Chain A
Amino acid sequence: MQLDAKIPDGPLAEKWDRHRFEMKLVNPANKRKFDIIVVGTGLAGGSASATLAELGYNVKTFCFQDSPRRAHSIAAQGGINAAKNYPNDGDSIWRLFYDTVKGGDFRAREANVHRLAQVSNNIIDHCVAQGIPFAREYGGLLANRSFGGAQVSRTFYARGQTGQQLLLGAYSSLARQIAAGKVTMFPRREMLDVVIVDGQARGIVVRNLISGELETHAAHAVVLATGGYGNVFFLSTNAMGCNVTAAYRAYKKGAFFANPCFTQIHPTCIPVHGTYQSKLTLMSESLRNDGRVWVPKKAGDTRRPADIPEDERDYFLERKYPSFGNLVPRDVASRNAKEQCDLGKGVGETRLAVYLDFADAIRRDGRAVIEKKYGNLFQMYAKITADNPYETPMMIYPAVHYTMGGLWVDYNLMSTVPGLFVLGEANFSDHGANRLGASALMQGLADGYFVIPYTIGGYLAGTPQRAVTTADPAFKAATQAVNGRISKLLSINGHRTVDDFHRELGGIMWDYCGMARTNAGLEVARGLIQNLRAEFWENVKVPGDPGEFNQSLERAGRVADFLEFGELMLIDARARQESCGGHFNEAFQTQENEALRDDENFCHVAAWEFTGEDKEPAFHKEPLVFENVHLTQRSYK
């Protein structure tokens, strides 16, 4: 099958405008005749629900949390990029586009990224109008700060809680539409299947997490905004509930999954400290503006950091990348930290950490200045580790943070299943093989506020549909399948808990499909996962009943899907015989150990099609055509 991304013709900068003009419209009076289902209430799902309702569509919105305000977008700290050029430092839509394509190591679609850069400015306007208290200068105008991978200041922020404020903005718009009766909100519902009728996505099956009942909902189109799959690694900066289930269920119903091996490992997280640990905590990338990363020069040096003299320390990022120093992009910083630990130079109890030292900055600027810049982060670090970073260096280590891969979508954000749209982190489209800081918030809101409201209209106006209700046999069949799976999970009654399996799965993924990958390792991991999955279905213990509030059952379903999805990641990683961005295959590196792309053979999106249980997925290729940027080896020396 030839994947058609449906990229509009014409010059890059005119594609979106032209497309908006050429798409069919649904007239205002007819919009109320269309029902749209939105799953997920993060930045993408929340903003899409609100905006589609503002336009007049009937929207049904679902989330597994107890309130749409709690989706994990809320935890984003740093900021949101936009090409406003308020600081007058040379930014432009073109520069934001270029930085994003380059940061993604040239594995994203030009047209999508350019549209993202174009609408970035509308996002900031809208968010200010919603009452989001962005940081401001004394004169009352909006403040900007710098982030990795860019040489201009284009990041807007609200203290260290930008994601929270943007999400509460989308949530408030959603609340307004709920009050207006245009959105019906279904919290504490988990989507367990998508229903296809006549080849079109026409509804979903959800489990009411309080009563345990399975409910079906029909619509004219289904929008998935269900986030990323970082929790396949068990330990990540994701929330505990983040999962791949909705996306994976859609994959099994015919939506192709694109580039699942593109995962982002964030360099500055608090290191793992025990087997009981449930999640990892990110420390904002902004810390690398003033903190210096180092390890002891001598492997196995167990002296306290203060006892290691200056000439016995290796500031390895500054040494290797004199021009970018500690501010190299995330993938480069992460790989270097791992390399030092692999050499036996790691620090702390587990030896899996490097120092992030503020002593020089405090000497230079004074403690007060550092406290004003990073006070809340230092406080958070102290709370978790009981160490005082003003007196002793922080210890940091990379952790899984974001997933660039996701369901394949065309320019209209529609998957390979007609009527099934995918937004935000759940799709694959904008970040290539590595996402730059402050771009996730931008993409989620761009998709929800400014892209889907147009493209879904084009689909609905141009697609003949028959009337479908939940009485259709397809709904019954989907419900039965979901029911069967739940019964099976509860009937196994084995000897290992769901978390126990999840932790083991995460260990396999981290060891073999984490920061560095090898062909041999990926093949070993496939065998390990297959065995673990087989054991899961024979030996998992899920307590309780289906017809009740049962959090173990919720987790069991998610881990069951991760156990299948993890294998798809390994297959994708094995097939991509190059290194790019977050995907680093040790066989493909430059002499300086940087990721070595193979543009001749792998300048494409890998989209995988489900072909049946325990069958190899089918590979489809969308070639990436770069007409506007020149492909180069990224250098941060």
Chain B
Amino acid sequence: MTKTINLTLKVWRQKGPHVKGKLETYHANNISTDMSFLEMIDVVNEQLTLDGKDPIAFDHDCREGICGSCGAVVNGRPHGPEKGTTLCQLHMRHFSDGDTVVVEPWRSRAFPIIRDLAVDRGVLDKIIQAGGYISVNAGGAQDANAIPIPQEVADKAMDAAACIGCGACVAACPNASAMLFVSAKVSQLALLPQGKPEAARRAIAMLCSADKAGFGNCSNERECEAECPKEISITHIARLNREFFKASFGSSVQ
């Protein structure tokens, strides 16, 4: 049954990448517990607009947990307190009347703040461009059933492919490492026969790209796995490491 709650928000406000930001306090009153977290911010923004103030900037699009646009650190946790949930799918029934809620952007040197809660995650695209693909042109493929792939392998590849590229793993990691993100793509493609010819080059190129972008390394804190809205497992990081070592120690001379 619908009920309403009142909250105190402390939201990070920052006009641009090179200006100082700070937490501002807002009151979110009469919030229906059926609202999503982003709908609650919509309500606050409508009031700010009518009051002649700048609304809170935040990225969002699909609002069904799949596009990966949204995300903020809520009370210290990327995407908030619910497990396996993006911010847009977090509902206000998980908060209590009178709560104070702190909302901050992803924090990482590699993700400069654009404004308020919106950050620039363009480096994640750069990492994919370094090798997160199979080099095949449209038109030349053989029949789709020519290479059988065991169901178990396809399932594992799908587990990795579920990554939505939101960047929560980076925000959760004390090293601001993007290893879970990198590993999800490397692992998906290394598992499938179609991805094997380029597996070695891919692992090295994508890891180097992540290093260059300023992401930290993995020290097995497992925070990424705990906060990933798609619950991607760090076993994929293990597979990435294996692929990377194989590629580094192997010789290209046949």
Contacts and interface: CB of A to CB of B under 8 A. Distances in A.
Given A276-B42, A551-B55, A384 B89 contact: yes
A524 interface: no
A276 B142 contact: no
Interface stretch (B66-74, B97-105, B168-176, B214-222): B66-74
Contact of B188 (A47, A133, A134, A544): A133
Contact of B91 (A84, A133, A384, A552): A384
Report which residue of B32, B134, B137, B147 has the largest number of chain A beta carbons within 10 angstroms of its beta carbon.
Answer: B137
A129 B194 contact: yes
A175 B129 contact: yes
| Size category of the binding interface on chain A | 35 or more
Contacts of A54: 137-138
Interface in A46-73: 47, 50-51, 54, 65-70, 72
A66 B122 contact: yes
B46 A140 contact: no
Interface in A102-160: 122, 124-142, 158-159
A551 to B, nearest CB: 6
Interface in A170-222: 171-173, 175-176, 178-179, 185, 187, 210
A593 B161 CA distance: 45
A500 B46 CA distance: 9
| Size category of the binding interface on chain B | 35 or more
B36 to A, nearest CB: 8
A282 B39 CA distance: 18
B118 A549 contact: yes
Contact of B50 (A68, A134, A172, A497): A497
A455 interface: no
A568 interface: no
Contacts of A142: 144-145
A125 B69 contact: no
A75 interface: yes
Contact of B136 (A66, A130, A210): A130
Nearest to A275: B32
A541 B49 contact: yes
A240 interface: yes
A349 interface: yes
B125 A67 contact: yes
A530 interface: no
Contacts of A131: 134, 157, 188-189, 192, 194-195
Given A50-B138, A161-B162, A175-B129, A278 B42 contact: yes
Contact of B59 (A66, A69, A185): A66
Given A86-B145, A126-B138, A383-B89, A277 B39 contact: yes
B129 A276 contact: no
Interface in B35-84: 35-36, 38-39, 42-43, 46, 48-50, 52-55, 57, 59-64, 66-69
Contacts of B32: 274, 276
Interface of A: 47, 50-51, 54, 65-70, 72, 74-75, 84, 86, 122, 124-142, 158-159, 161, 164-165, 168, 171-173, 175-176, 178-179, 185, 187, 210, 239-241, 273-274, 276-279, 281-282, 349, 383-386, 449-450, 453, 495, 497, 499-500, 541, 543-544, 548-549, 551-552
5 contacts: A74-B67, A125-B142, A125-B143, A274-B34, A551-B57
Given A74-B66, A278-B39, 5 more contacts: A129-B194, A241-B61, A278-B42, A385-B34, A551-B55
